[in-house]
Amino acid sequence: MTTTSPSAHTDTTTPPDASVLLRCHGLRCTPSRLHTLAMLSRSGLHLSSAEACAELHRLGAPFDPATVYRTLETLTAVGLTHAVHGPGPKRYGISSEPHHHTVCEQCGQVGTLASEPLREAVERIAEFTGLRPGASGSLLVYGRCARCGD
Ligand SMILES: [Zn+2]
Ligand SMILES: [Zn+2]
């Protein structure tokens, strides 16, 4: 006896795309969600709501700022994206590969920091402080980005 999930898809040849990800998280595939998710996924960037809005506009998928903001909040609520709080507006990034973050304290730009090479550093932090950081996404390293220089 087998049960068939109504959301099951039969296409096993391609990696999950934005529409599959959305459905897996119980979200309807609205154009703004599809485009925002695909754009963040492809760029690998962490963008503020305004920056995401500008980028979507550049890609020929313009949505009004309120829609983009609501979309990012919805995607973050179900865990498809995550928000990083630095100086200025929060930045949103895609939640695929585990990673930590760098934050420029001048311009607020958020960068990705691979978590695997920093495994030991995270263990050291637990040793020194008693704080047990999560496996990924725990470290927030502040500094100046290459563009802001010294
Ligand atoms: Zn991130
Ligand atoms: Zn900067």
Confidence (pLDDT) at 121:
87
Confidence (pLDDT) at 133:
74
Instruction: Kindly give the distance from the C-alpha atom of residue 83 to the centroid of ligand 2, in angstroms, as a whole number.
Output: 18
Domain that holds residue 55: 16-95
Q: In the numeric block, which tokens belong to residue 16?
A: 């999950």
**What predicted TM-score, i.e. pTM, was given to this entire model?**
0.81
Residues 44, 64: one domain? Answer: yes
Instruction: Kindly give the distance from the C-alpha atom of residue 86 to the centroid of ligand 2, in angstroms, as a whole number.
Output: 11
Tens place of pLDDT for every residue, the chain, 150 residues? 444 444 444 444 445 688 999 999 999 999 999 999 999 999 999 999 999 999 999 999 999 999 999 999 999 999 999 999 888 899 999 988 889 999 999 999 999 998 888 888 888 988 999 987 765 667 889 999 999 987
Residues 45, 74: one domain? Answer: yes
Length reported for the chain: 150
Instruction: Kindly give the distance from the C-alpha atom of residue 93 to the centroid of ligand 1, in angstroms, as a whole number.
Output: 5
Instruction: Kindly give the distance from the C-alpha atom of residue 4 to the centroid of ligand 1, in angstroms, as a whole number.
Output: 34
Instruction: Kindly give the distance from the C-alpha atom of residue 4 to the centroid of ligand 2, in angstroms, as a whole number.
Output: 50
Burial class, 113, CB count within 10 angstroms (exposed 0-12 / middle 13-18 / buried 19+): middle
CATH number at residue 35: 1.10.10.10
